[in-house]
């Protein structure tokens, strides 16, 4: 494969930027078509994924080494583009209850562009800027229903805590850059002892908050519960794939230089798995339930990051993909049917395909073979045991079994409860049904054909 050079290396990001700007004027360019912007966005995201696939890896770096793409970065960019395209196709088919499709599409594309930039960032400043580009549109998406006070409250909590996380991250960077004398990740040199540990702690706090991992998960349940389910479907899944690549790079840079990093990751993993799985049980809102599910899955990812090593990082990114697909699919079902468990009652009778598709995606999140979630968890827990983290791996397995309980509450509502007499009729949405079917196919395909994906995930040495 011919390697790209120069600005062609960031062709996927440039395509998303151009498409976002075009989507803003879709109503003018295609009069009478309210959802034209979403179709344009889906086509642009698909083109960006194709450009990322054609670019290959090992290409010369850009901006004096501040941006480069290795195997992990390429996989993350491709997956981000594909998931964004699928999501916007759903938006084009279903529409939005509040706001305009045009603006919503542009915000989604800007966030996806920031996520792709994160995947290739090799400089601390570039990573910080890309992180903000990915999250700033998310603030607006989470508060997109401006008529709902809960939505605005949740978006405000997300904004405030995310800003605090950014400040912590930036404060930690000030230590790192001061000790290293450079902003390049490859040039990072932490001083041994307390000051190095403090710098790592601040950076980890900022990254954990962005990942909605404990003990910085407090924004997620309120933000998710107030936001439109469609916004949650994107924000809770798509940016996390590239975010995991960035997080893994940070761990690969800092872990060899400070012994304090591993205990931080282990502690956050334990808290995330226990709190996320246990607090999810009493939830009746699907968005809050999936928010705590996301906290628990962040804990599983941290298990792999704590293990360290190339195989563990491969497993973490693979699992991030295996989590993003069914998580987005479940929330898209909720966006089309209803946000609470009561809204899902009798779904097996009203829309059998959606009910069975939801079961398949929930089973993958639990980790049942041969689906994607099982393969990802098997890889992560194996890496943890090889690293000597046997108690942590055992806890992760136990918590995975515990999670089946609250996921079954969704299944029980769909199959074993009767819909309310005044439940609204569910209209046919061929595009939405096709998107859910595609998510199901991906859940099965990723699990069955995991080898090529894992082989493609390689983190370049710093």
Q: CB-hemisphere CA count at 13 Å for 382?
A: 11
Listing DSSP states for 76-125 in one string gives HHHHHHHHHHHHHHHHHHH--SSS-HHHHHHHHHHHHHHHHHHHHB-BHH
Q: Which residue has the tokens 């959802």?
A: 35
pLDDT exceeds cutoff 80 at 442: yes
Domain count for the chain, please give it. 1
Q: 111-142 burial string, b = 16+ CB within 10 Å, else e?
A: bbbbbbbbbbbbbbebbbebbebbbebbbbbb
Q: What is the pLDDT of residues 70-108, one digit of tens each?
A: 888 999 999 999 999 999 999 988 877 766 788 899 999
Look at residues 362, 343, 436 and name the one whose alpha carbon lies nearest to residue 404: 362
pLDDT exceeds cutoff 90 at 302: yes
Indicate whether 272 belongs to any domain.
yes
pLDDT exceeds cutoff 50 at 1: no
The whole model's pTM is what?
Answer: 0.93
313 neighbors 305 (Cβ within 8 angstroms)? yes
CA distance linking residue 117 with residue 246, whole number of Å = 10
Look at residues 203, 200, 212 and name the one whose alpha carbon lies nearest to residue 170: 203
Q: What is the pLDDT of residues 285-300, one digit of tens each?
A: 999 999 999 999 999 9
Residues 410-433, mean pLDDT to the nearest whole number:
79
Listing DSSP states for 206-217 in one string gives HHHHHTT-TTS-
CA distance linking residue 446 with residue 326, whole number of Å = 11
Q: How far is CA 378 from the centre of its chain?
A: 20
Residues 417-426, mean pLDDT to the nearest whole number:
70
pLDDT in the model for residue 168? 92
Query: At 2, is the pLDDT very low, low, confident or very high (cuts 50, 70, 90)?
Result: very low
Instruction: Give the mean pLDDT of the chain.
Output: 88
330 neighbors 358 (Cβ within 8 angstroms)? yes
Percentage with pLDDT > 70 across the chain: 93
pLDDT exceeds cutoff 90 at 15: yes
Q: Which domain holds residue 407?
A: 6-456
pLDDT exceeds cutoff 80 at 148: no
pLDDT in the model for residue 4? 56
- Let me know how long the chain is: 462
CA distance linking residue 362 with residue 444, whole number of Å = 12
Q: CB-hemisphere CA count at 13 Å for 413?
A: 20
Residues 252-271, mean pLDDT to the nearest whole number:
91
The H-assigned helical ranges of 211-260 are: 219-226, 229-235, 238-254
Residues 163-189, mean pLDDT to the nearest whole number:
90
Q: What is the pLDDT of residues 311-341, one digit of tens each?
A: 889 999 999 999 999 999 999 999 888 888 9
Percentage with pLDDT > 90 across the chain: 55
pLDDT exceeds cutoff 80 at 374: yes
pLDDT exceeds cutoff 90 at 19: yes
Indicate whether 462 belongs to any domain.
no
Cis check for the bond before 215: say yes or no (omega within 30 of 0).
Answer: yes
Q: How far is CA 221 from the centre of its chain?
A: 15
Q: What is the pLDDT of residues 356-369, one digit of tens each?
A: 999 999 999 999 98
Indicate whether 404 belongs to any domain.
yes
Indicate whether 461 belongs to any domain.
no
User: Among 30-44, 47-61, 206-220, 379-393, where is mean pLDDT lowest?
Assistant: 47-61
Cis check for the bond before 52: say yes or no (omega within 30 of 0).
Answer: no
67 SS3 class: strand
Residues 23-52, mean pLDDT to the nearest whole number:
84
pLDDT in the model for residue 427? 63
- 121: which strand partners? 67
Question: Quick one: CA torsion of 411, 433, 321, 35, rounded to 10 degrees?
Answer: -130
Q: How many CB atoms lie within 10 A of CB 409?
A: 18
pLDDT in the model for residue 424? 62
User: Among 66-80, 177-191, 424-438, where is mean pLDDT lowest?
Assistant: 424-438
Indicate whether 1 belongs to any domain.
no
For residue 385, what are the CA distances in angstroms to 155, 296, 308, 394, 415? 39, 19, 11, 9, 38
Question: Quick one: CA torsion of 43, 49, 55, 56, rounded to 10 degrees?
Answer: -160
Indicate whether 447 belongs to any domain.
yes
pLDDT in the model for residue 145? 76
């Amino acid at each position: 494969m011919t390697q790209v050079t120069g600005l062609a290396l960031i062709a996927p990001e440039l395509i998303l930027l151009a498409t976002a700007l075009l989507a803003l004027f879709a109503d003018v360019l295609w009069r009478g078509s309210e959802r034209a912007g979403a179709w344009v966005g889906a086509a642009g995201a698909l083109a960006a994924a194709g450009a990322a696939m054609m670019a290959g890896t090992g290409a010369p770096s850009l901006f004096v080494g501040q941006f480069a793409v290795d195997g992990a970065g390429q996989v993350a960019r491709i997956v981000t583009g594909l998931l964004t395209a699928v999501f916007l196709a759903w938006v084009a088919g279903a529409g939005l209850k509040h706001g305009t499709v045009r603006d919503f599409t542009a915000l989604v594309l800007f966030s996806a562009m920031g996520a792709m930039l994160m995947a290739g960032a090799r400089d601390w400043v570039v990573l910080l800027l890309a992180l903000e580009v990915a999250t700033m549109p998310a603030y607006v998406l989470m508060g997109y229903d401006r008529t709902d006070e809960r939505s605005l409250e949740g978006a405000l909590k997300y904004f405030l805590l995310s800003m605090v996380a950014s400040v912590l991250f930036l404060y930690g960077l000030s230590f790192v850059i001061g000790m290293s004398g450079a902003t390049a990740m490859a040039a990072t040199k932490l001083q041994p002892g307390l000051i190095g540990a403090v710098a790592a702690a601040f950076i980890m706090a900022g990254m954990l908050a962005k990942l909605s991992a404990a003990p910085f998960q407090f924004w997620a349940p309120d933000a998710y519960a107030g936001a439109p389910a469609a916004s949650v479907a994107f924000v809770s899944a798509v940016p996390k794939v590239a975010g995991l690549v960035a997080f893994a790079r940070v761990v690969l840079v800092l872990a060899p230089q400070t012994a304090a990093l591993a205990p931080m990751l282990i502690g956050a993993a334990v808290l995330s798995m226990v709190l996320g799985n246990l607090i999810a049980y009493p939830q009746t809102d699907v968005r809050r339930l999936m928010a705590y599910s996301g906290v628990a899955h962040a804990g599983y990812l941290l298990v792999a990051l704590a293990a360290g090593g190339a195989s563990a990082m491969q497993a973490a990114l693979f699992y991030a993909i295996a989590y993003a697909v069914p998580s987005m699919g479940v929330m898209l079902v909720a966006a089309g049917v209803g946000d609470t468990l009561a809204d899902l009652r009798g779904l097996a009778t009203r829309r059998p395909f959606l009910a069975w598709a939801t079961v398949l995606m929930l089973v993958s999140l639990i980790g049942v073979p041969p689906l994607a979630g099982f393969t990802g968890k098997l890889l992560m827990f194996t890496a943890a045991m090889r690293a000597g983290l046997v108690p942590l791996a055992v806890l992760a397995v136990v918590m995975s079994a515990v999670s089946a309980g609250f996921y079954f509450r969704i299944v029980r509502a769909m199959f074993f409860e009767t819909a309310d007499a005044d439940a609204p009729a569910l209209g046919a949405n061929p595009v939405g049904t096709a998107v859910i079917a595609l998510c199901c196919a991906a859940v099965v395909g990723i699990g069955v054909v995991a080898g090529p994906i894992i082989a493609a995930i390689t983190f370049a040495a710093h």
